[in-house]
Structure 1
């Protein structure tokens, strides 16, 4: 998932001090206080000293949606007991307009508003607060008194209509044993209070914070400071476990991006879920201009966790290119409660996802075989979506049916659109330019503070590249014609092939080999499915109930641990499996033989085009 616009971290532009003379003018500011100490019933109190109003009524909003989520999450449903007061502490009349909005009477007398905030993690996996859809965890909030607070600020802080450009001051009081990590600058030296200034509301909500027991690392990549903060509920992982791979990855990204090195400080906030009933279950990440929030299951093996972080964090970091630097008016002037979506998700998400894969082969983190395998998987997944739906039309209407059901295709077909554009530009320029060149040219044309108009982008891209690029965009992105991927691969000397890849012991593609007996919670191998190499080599049979593996008991409660953890198993490792067969328990012993799958893929076959292929993947 994804977000925003490169803004300087020098948000300490605005200072508030004691009044020194009667003639000092009042500075209009939205002054927010968040209390993480006095948490009651798993709720946090927020108080906001209001700016001045000349109108008789004021409207206060909690966001309906935020950039990068492409869904209407109604964060107002997590707010309760909203009150407004005048300077003497008298209550003002408040009328709730809708799920996310309140109207306040006698606004000229308004001094402050207060309300309680519920967190979103508690509601995942079962709806809650009047809506069945979960908030995507990296865009959500967590309140675990004395232990962890995930402050995606859009879930805690609202805004007054007409005052979104007013500066914000945010004070967070917190337990002394918890450290708040973010990309912001704390202006207070206290162990129990943090103070942050922001130029406007849109900037503040791009600045997530995570409070937890101090566990962080920091390192420099050229002139950029990277901060990694980790919350691991059982202490299974620390920031030091994560850092080496992340540092390698981010150095490679910086090398790949070259000119797009605009931010000086970048925070990665990693929340590891314990997978219990009331905890985060939406795994992935959400980008901000100077940070990324990441949610992953704590039970993941370190190797798989590192691989997942490499893919999702690199995706979010590449949003520095788009939409944080290159974006339309819809992004520049984002309306949190009446969002107007852009036509160009193929660029915001597709180019970003493509870069997250391309940089890895470009910088030697994966080989070209794996890169082709990843693109082949995206082709297969995109083929399961509506391949004839106009991508620009889907993007513009992504919040509504039937288009919102196609949103996930931005990570599949969107990346493939970017790949095809890259190939066209490489071919036309004899390998000298690619899609990164185009994005650099668009950045020079627009940049973070200048937006383009949606309907003018294709013409600008064509002007900066070649007519063939414009024809591709018209036919395959705005149009409804499926992309002939093989034709574009062929331009680089790459052809279709059968590729053998590693499989999962308990999954065949997306089809499970196992099920669960709901009465006993026991895990059972499906009675009629054809067994894979792992199962036959271990002596497992259809209908066997798996009770334990290598001494660890498994059932419905931790089946996710078994399936996900099995991806880390290695050929030749010794294994014992405790089973129940025909009502009798027994233990099977053997050595692991991981299953293999044959998939449709691609490989380089044309030596005459080796040079242009190398320019594409390594240039």
Structure 2
């Protein structure tokens, strides 16, 4: 891996279990040594067991709660030895390892492949060891001894000058060795271990809960203090809304990379019971104020979404497990709730808290309606329940961030109408949660109907079946309408992107119109914009339409091997060059029923 210095990372795990039937706890020290160098694997050795049965199953998860892909098995050369150093018989079944003769099991050795840093699954199943960053997802490193309750004590020899930026109670044995305890396997796999040599950190309190915000930024452009200022209001809004009190600290960990393949997803995140991890595949350059505002708003919405997962599915869900061991199991049919409702309502909480305004709120919903409409036009016939159960078919994933979010928007309106303004969709779900935080997958709509009679008809039509609701019909109930509009004029850069070189951090562009001091068809190689090196984020700047803004930018570019400077301005264009975009309109002449629903849902 790139720029990896030679060092060792050693984990020693003390597993506390009990003799079968005796109820007497026995301390069994199981050492796990992990050695990492410039290679692409992590070597693991586990030894000192007390197992009182002849056959033991060690099971590595295929997927985790909140991840919608199967985790590729990265375990290689799995070998078990008895007390005489002889190999025990092993049977491998996918991600399962059956160990025969485990009553005399002395040690296990295997290795785990490290991940490519460009992997979009880094936060859920990555193992990274870099000179300044260590990411250990325990669901990849450790399997579960099925049927045995165990506590874990993990001793990590991680090298010097590494700071833990994840959510664990860490005991520092010395400068290079940490000890972390986990009460059970579930807690361990939901607690990624992350270290950074270059992190910045900040803390703030919401009620009695301490929030720790950590940022790993190789180019030091993103600081924890900056993100803390932006994200504390978001955190406060979400936590106060759901009324959840954490027993321990909560960590928000942000990992930024630079010089990566710009074609991969730009960001991805995963929520855990006491932490959330955010991975960005490049660093924002904050070229101008508008770009920074756009980035901050996207970040606020992303964090709000992940934090709202604390409510559902982490603390309110049907009876499915935190992790699955087979790739034949179907997911819950209620991803419309766990992703669609979370996507919609986390945005609504930001509106209620005054973090975003109505224009922004409805513009984001209009974008989702626009994307949702594509499924309608394509005649995409699959119900949300069926798509949910078959979520590991990747073609189904985006349905829940667009179609399901729009459906929850409309269901919110329907609940308000059915209850004559007494309830919202959230208040209905919250009442069910207060009764029991777990529900049978087939009983949710029955429970919802007992609070808002008639809502089961909506659910049966548009969640259980593959029908699409009439947007105009439901929006009109709240005095809203959806349409496509266009701007009369605006400013933009008439350019064509020729190439982006991530190694030299340059973008080659060609002008499609005359822009002083450049002429049409002129090609230049840009190195800096407003004194910042260009990156993959610069694409959004170069393609952005600046409505009613004539903004000048300072650029540096290479021409015939010579570095030069220039000032460029976007040009004013007429209607045909400005694309139509979706919008939700608010009717200013509502009847009584419309006004009651609108005020219930969208007025603070």
Offset at residue 222 of structure 1 (A): 1.1
Report the equivalent of 1:210.
194
8 A Cα contact 2:266 2:281, kept in partner: no
C-alpha separation between the residues in 2 aligned to 1:117 and 1:192? 22
Offset at residue 180 of structure 1 (A): 1.3
Report the equivalent of 2:480.
494
1:390 corresponds, among 375, 380, 383, to 383
Offset at residue 342 of structure 1 (A): 0.6
Q: Which runs of 5+ in 1 are unaligned?
A: 1-13, 18-22, 125-133
Asked whether 1:178 is paired with 2:154, we answer no
Report the equivalent of 2:307.
317
Report the equivalent of 2:587.
605
- Indicate the SS of the match to 2:301: helix
Q: Cα 1:119–1:91, aligned 2, differ >3 Å: closer, same or farther?
A: same
Deviations 1:312-369 (A, max 9, x none): 1111110011111111122467446654311111001111111221111111111111
8 A Cα contact 1:159 1:201, kept in partner: yes
TM-score by length of 2: 0.82
C-alpha separation between the residues in 2 aligned to 1:60 and 1:54? 15
State the superposition RMSD in angstroms: 3.8
Asked whether 1:243 is paired with 2:228, we answer yes
8 A Cα contact 2:15 2:152, kept in partner: no
Offset at residue 90 of structure 1 (A): 4.4
C-alpha separation between the residues in 2 aligned to 1:496 and 1:590? 37
- Indicate the SS of the match to 2:64: coil
8 A Cα contact 2:492 2:572, kept in partner: yes
Offset at residue 300 of structure 1 (A): 0.9
Report the equivalent of 2:97.
102
- Indicate the SS of the match to 2:439: coil
Deviations 1:269-300 (A, max 9, x none): 11101133699856221111111110113431
Deviations 1:535-586 (A, max 9, x none): 666676764424126568999xx66242035479974432356789999999
Deviations 1:233-286 (A, max 9, x none): 1222221121100112111222333x3345542111111011336998562211
Listed as ranges, the matches of 1:62-461 within 5 Å are 62-74=60-72, 76=73, 78-87=74-83, 89-98=85-94, 100-122=95-117, 124=118, 134-163=119-148, 165-213=149-197, 214-257=199-242, 259-262=243-246, 264-276=248-260, 283-302=267-286, 303=292, 304-331=294-321, 334-335=324-325, 339-385=329-375, 387-400=380-393, 404-447=394-437, 451-461=438-448
Offset at residue 387 of structure 1 (A): 4.4
C-alpha separation between the residues in 2 aligned to 1:30 and 1:278? 45
Deviations 1:102-141 (A, max 9, x none): 332321111332322332234x4xxxxxxxxx55232232
C-alpha separation between the residues in 2 aligned to 1:278 and 1:374? 24
Q: Cα 1:70–1:541, aligned 2, differ >3 Å: closer, same or farther?
A: farther
8 A Cα contact 1:495 1:603, kept in partner: yes
Offset at residue 228 of structure 1 (A): 1.0
Report the equivalent of 1:56.
54
Deviations 1:165-212 (A, max 9, x none): 433332222123101122222245543333233232222111122101
Q: Cα 1:290–1:559, aligned 2, differ >3 Å: closer, same or farther?
A: closer
Q: Cα 1:552–1:491, aligned 2, differ >3 Å: closer, same or farther?
A: closer
- Indicate the SS of the match to 1:285: strand
- Indicate the SS of the match to 1:175: coil
> Mean Cα displacement is larger for which, 347-356 or 183-192?
183-192
Q: Cα 1:616–1:278, aligned 2, differ >3 Å: closer, same or farther?
A: closer
C-alpha separation between the residues in 1 aligned to 2:102 and 2:209? 44
Q: Cα 1:355–1:522, aligned 2, differ >3 Å: closer, same or farther?
A: closer
Offset at residue 612 of structure 1 (A): 3.2
8 A Cα contact 2:285 2:532, kept in partner: no
Deviations 1:505-544 (A, max 9, x none): 579xxxx9534499x9973449xxxx6xxx6666767644
Report the equivalent of 1:10.
none
Asked whether 1:514 is paired with 2:504, we answer no
8 A Cα contact 1:152 1:209, kept in partner: yes
C-alpha separation between the residues in 1 aligned to 2:64 and 2:80? 25
8 A Cα contact 2:165 2:214, kept in partner: yes
Report the equivalent of 1:476.
462
Q: Cα 1:182–1:388, aligned 2, differ >3 Å: closer, same or farther?
A: same
C-alpha separation between the residues in 2 aligned to 1:249 and 1:353? 14
C-alpha separation between the residues in 1 aligned to 2:151 and 2:351? 43
Q: Which runs of 5+ in 2 are unaligned?
A: 1-13, 287-291
Q: Cα 1:33–1:587, aligned 2, differ >3 Å: closer, same or farther?
A: same
C-alpha separation between the residues in 2 aligned to 1:45 and 1:550? 43
Deviations 1:21-50 (A, max 9, x none): xx99443778564647x5452433334347
Offset at residue 396 of structure 1 (A): 0.8
Q: Which is bigger in relative contact order (C-alpha 8 A, separation at least 6)?
A: 1
8 A Cα contact 1:523 1:547, kept in partner: yes
8 A Cα contact 2:531 2:554, kept in partner: no
Report the equivalent of 2:10.
none
C-alpha separation between the residues in 1 aligned to 2:263 and 2:542? 23
Offset at residue 383 of structure 1 (A): 2.2
Report the equivalent of 1:20.
none
8 A Cα contact 1:61 1:337, kept in partner: no
8 A Cα contact 2:531 2:555, kept in partner: no
- Indicate the SS of the match to 1:438: helix
Report the equivalent of 1:27.
26
8 A Cα contact 1:539 1:588, kept in partner: yes
C-alpha separation between the residues in 2 aligned to 1:279 and 1:119? 21
- Indicate the SS of the match to 1:440: helix
Report the equivalent of 1:574.
552
> Mean Cα displacement is larger for which, 189-198 or 245-254?
189-198
Offset at residue 375 of structure 1 (A): 0.8
Q: Cα 1:549–1:232, aligned 2, differ >3 Å: closer, same or farther?
A: closer
C-alpha separation between the residues in 2 aligned to 1:362 and 1:158? 43
